[in-house]
Amino acid sequence: MKTGLLWLDDRRDVPFGRKLESASNYYREKYGHRPDLCYVHPSCLPSEKPNVAIAVRSSENMLPNHFWLGRKRA
């Protein structure tokens, strides 16, 4: 993924899955299709895998509380 949407969500009272869902919905509204890949900082990964249809990967290059959403390259 070379391009995507950078989303900040630092709400502490909202579960990871709901944050990802909000970001995904915004992405869909903006670009007309759903993202299928998301990068987050390793410290932001939940202990349990979220029930979402997006591949979630960690990267030290990401800032905490940021989500980089996009589509996998074919």
| Mean of all residue pLDDT scores within the chain | 92
Question: Rounded distance, CA 71 to CA 55, Å?
Answer: 10
Please state the domain extents for the chain.
5-70
Question: Rounded distance, CA 66 to CA 4, Å?
Answer: 12
Q: Is the pLDDT of residue 3 over 90?
A: no
User: 51 pLDDT band (50/70/90 cuts)?
Assistant: confident
Residues 6-46: tens digit of each pLDDT? 999 999 999 999 999 999 999 999 999 999 999 999 999 98
| Residue 61: φ, ψ to 5° | -75, -15
Residue 74: the pLDDT is: 52
Which H, E and C letters describe 40-67, residue by residue? ECHHHCCCCCCCCCCEEEECCCCCCCEE
The predicted model scores a pTM of 0.88
What's the whole-number mean pLDDT along residues 41-55?
86
